[in-house]
């Protein structure tokens, strides 16, 4: 445990943890309360929960083959009696508390006193890349929470190697794997960084200890494989990740993309450099995602801290944190060079690793500005933290018009009407808490005349029904729009044709 200086700081670490947890719960509750509409992945998870209620595990797995988060939501809904969407929101709020608390526990290991830990709590609660997902229904939050908790347990083990701590590290990492299968990479590689300073003989002994539970579970799963076929089929995502080892398929996919670049984008004189351009472009994109994830606000605090404070004393966990960052970047690179895209949400653990490496310098600078009565500098730091917090919670583009249009249609259109939509959110809110059918075709319809009503979400300059389907006599029954001019419209189709 690190040394703490309590002078002029009245809160204990337990009090800091409690206050942080309560604020995290409040932020999540506020995010869900003011949220306009469920996120796209959230629709899929809610469909999985309903499929579980209707047809069990095998039915759920037909939608997505790593269903732990949806199963957890279903069980929580059954136990609590809450609607499934509210159950998912409540569950994610709890997982956010685990996540922020794990980051706080790590901070307590990294920082020299409770005042800096208190500053870290403010930085964690205001962190853009965390708060930006508070209103999302996603499995990633559970993954982030237990990856961070696993890192903390590994830090504890590095400081004081005990079997109990080794078991806690493995349990945390295994739960993270249940949320996202790529946690397996962290589970197997992180102990090497924790033991990098040990001698070979002791390292082998400690590695066995850090993987003792994994080995036992592996043996049990191997024995149970024949009798638990349904469960193994439901969690079949592992087989998808084995395709990363298929170098022939990866090479074929790469050649296709390089061929497109050479023929459609690059000049004949640059064609030989297509691979270099592709890989460097993807790498720069990943680097941008990581730096943007830390946020310009915190990046600026760190840059100012470099100029205004002395160097931070080295701590025993530096190699472990660099290893955590490296393993997460390795996971991202494997995904990036197979799928050729990456979103910020997938980068969250790498961003957290980078944030933890920058954290001691930031907290030291903020503390020094306060203690040295450099109030202008302290106010500047406070402004940057507050600006990042507001930026994550502020939204300028309301989508409530989509939800409200679907609900209006559900409540007001004739029960015997044949209704169609090409929008995922319209079909979700129309079907929620209601057994009425709606035909959903995301790619549009070949014969729109066979429907009584069509509900569309249209951006400001979207194509008209006449341009899309040749329909010129549709009547607008109901319409809502937002300030950007995007709208959700219910069209009554005036003529019918036989179905295909």
**Cα atoms in the 13 Å half-sphere on the side-chain side of 23:** 16
Q: Is the pLDDT reported for residue 72 higher than 70?
A: yes
Q: Which of 108-122, 232-246, 369-383 has the lowest mean pLDDT?
A: 232-246
What CA–CA distance (Å, rounded) separates 122 from 235? 38
* Higher-confidence position of 343 and 222: 343
Cα→Cα distances 227→2, 230, 231, 235, 302, Å: 48, 8, 9, 15, 54
Q: Supply the pLDDT for residue 369.
A: 94
Q: Is the pLDDT reported for residue 80 higher than 90?
A: yes
Closest CA to 258 of 239, 240, 272: 272
* Higher-confidence position of 311 and 81: 81
Q: Supply the pLDDT for residue 261.
A: 79
**Are 389 and 383 in contact, with CB atoms under 8 Å apart?**
no
DSSP structural state of residue 261: I
pLDDT tens sequence across 201-210: 567 778 888 8
Average pLDDT, the chain: 86
What CA–CA distance (Å, rounded) separates 281 from 334? 15
Q: Is the pLDDT reported for residue 6 higher than 50?
A: no
Q: Supply the pLDDT for residue 240.
A: 66
Domain locations along the chain: 13-243+295-393, 400-492
Q: Is the pLDDT reported for residue 5 higher than 70?
A: no
**Are 450 and 439 in contact, with CB atoms under 8 Å apart?**
no
* Higher-confidence position of 251 and 327: 327
Q: In a 3-state reduction of DSSP, which class is residue 142?
A: helix
pLDDT class for 466, splitting at 50, 70, 90?
Answer: confident
Q: Supply the pLDDT for residue 7.
A: 46
Contacts of 112 (CB under 8 A, 6+ apart): 2, 3, 4, 5, 313
Residue whose pair of structure tokens reads 């306060």 in the numeric block: 370
Cα→Cα distances 83→29, 50, 73, 77, Å: 16, 11, 10, 6
* Higher-confidence position of 464 and 481: 481
Q: Degrees (nearest 5) of the Cα angle 308, 118, 20?
A: 140
First CA to last CA across the chain, in angstroms? 71
Q: Is the pLDDT reported for residue 30 higher than 50?
A: yes
Q: Supply the pLDDT for residue 4.
A: 42
* H or E element that contains 216: helix 212-224
Cα→Cα distances 455→39, 375, 474, 480, Å: 19, 56, 12, 11
**Cα atoms in the 13 Å half-sphere on the side-chain side of 128:** 22
What CA–CA distance (Å, rounded) separates 425 from 245? 36
Q: Supply the pLDDT for residue 429.
A: 92
Q: Supply the pLDDT for residue 2.
A: 44
**Are 156 and 320 in contact, with CB atoms under 8 Å apart?**
no
pLDDT tens sequence across 148-176: 999 999 999 998 888 899 999 999 999 99
Q: Is the pLDDT reported for residue 198 higher than 70?
A: no
How much of the chain exceeds pLDDT 90, in percent? 54
User: Is residue 485 left, alpha or beta, with left meaning phi > 0 and alpha meaning psi from -120 to 50?
Assistant: left
Q: What does the pLDDT average to over 117-124?
A: 97
pLDDT tens sequence across 290-340: 999 999 999 999 999 998 877 777 678 999 999 999 999 999 998 888 888
**Are 193 and 319 in contact, with CB atoms under 8 Å apart?**
yes
Q: Is the pLDDT reported for residue 28 higher than 60?
A: yes
The structure tokens listed for 340 are: 């050729």
Q: Supply the pLDDT for residue 221.
A: 65
Closest CA to 236 of 93, 451, 61, 365: 61
pLDDT class for 15, splitting at 50, 70, 90?
Answer: very high
* Higher-confidence position of 180 and 197: 180
Q: Is the pLDDT reported for residue 3 higher than 60?
A: no
Written as one string, the DSSP assignment of 262-274 is IIIIS-TTTGGGH
Q: What does the pLDDT average to over 371-392?
A: 92
pLDDT class for 264, splitting at 50, 70, 90?
Answer: confident
Q: Supply the pLDDT for residue 315.
A: 76
Contacts of 211 (CB under 8 A, 6+ apart): 170, 188, 191
What CA–CA distance (Å, rounded) separates 154 from 315? 15
């Amino acid at each position: 445990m690190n040394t703490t200086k309590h002078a002029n700081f009245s809160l204990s670490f337990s009090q800091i943890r409690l206050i942080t947890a309560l604020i995290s719960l409040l932020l999540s509750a506020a995010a869900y309360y003011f949220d306009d509409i469920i996120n796209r992945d959230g629709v899929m998870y809610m469909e999985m929960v309903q499929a579980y209620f209707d047809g069990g595990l095998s039915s759920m797995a037909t939608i997505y083959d790593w269903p732990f988060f949806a199963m957890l939501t279903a069980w929580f809904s059954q136990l609590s009696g809450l609607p499934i969407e509210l159950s998912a929101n409540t569950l994610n709020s709890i997982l956010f508390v685990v996540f922020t608390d794990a980051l706080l526990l790590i901070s307590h290991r990294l920082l020299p006193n409770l005042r800096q830990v208190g500053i870290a709590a403010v930085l964690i609660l205001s962190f853009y890349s965390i708060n930006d997902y508070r209103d999302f229904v996603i499995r990633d939050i559970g993954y982030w929470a237990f990856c961070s908790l696993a890192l903390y347990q590994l830090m504890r083990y590095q400081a004081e190697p005990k079997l109990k701590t080794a078991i806690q590290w493995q349990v945390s990492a295994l739960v993270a794997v249940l949320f996202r299968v790529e946690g397996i990479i962290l589970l197997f590689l992180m102990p090497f960084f924790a033991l990098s300073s040990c001698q070979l003989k002791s390292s082998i002994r400690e590695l066995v200890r850090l993987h003792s539970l994994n080995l036992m579970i592996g043996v049990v799963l191997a024995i149970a494989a024949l009798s638990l076929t349904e469960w193994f089929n439901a969690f079949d995502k592992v087989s998808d990740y084995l395709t990363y080892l298929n170098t022939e398929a990866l090479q074929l996919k790469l050649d296709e993309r390089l061929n497109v670049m050479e023929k459609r984008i690059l000049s004949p004189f640059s064609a030989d450099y297509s691979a270099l351009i592709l890989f460097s472009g993807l790498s720069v994109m990943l680097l941008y995602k990581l730096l943007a994830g830390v946020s310009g606000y915190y990046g600026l605090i760190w840059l100012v801290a470099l100029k205004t404070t002395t160097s931070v004393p080295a701590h025993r966990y530096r190699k472990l944190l660099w290893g955590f960052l490296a393993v997460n970047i390795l996971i991202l690179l494997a995904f990036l060079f197979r799928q050729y895209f990456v979103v910020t949400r997938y980068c969250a653990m790498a961003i957290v690793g980078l944030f933890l490496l920058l954290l001691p310098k930031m907290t030291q600078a903020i503390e020094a500005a306060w203690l040295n009565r450099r109030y202008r500098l302290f106010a500047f730091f406070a402004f940057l933290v507050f600006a990042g917090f507001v930026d994550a919670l502020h939204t300028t583009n309301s989508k409530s018009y989509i939800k409200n249009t679907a609900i209006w249609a559900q409540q007001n259109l004739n029960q015997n009407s044949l209704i169609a939509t090409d929008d995922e959110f319209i079909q979700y809110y129309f079907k929620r808490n209601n057994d009425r059918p709606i035909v959903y075709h995301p790619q549009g319809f070949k014969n729109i005349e066979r429907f009584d009503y069509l509900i569309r979400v249209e951006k400001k300059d979207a194509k008209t029904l006449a341009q899309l389907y040749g329909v010129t006599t549709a009547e607008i029954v109901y319409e809502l729009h937002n300030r950007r001019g995007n709208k959700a419209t219910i069209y009554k189709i005036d003529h019918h044709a036989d179905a295909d």
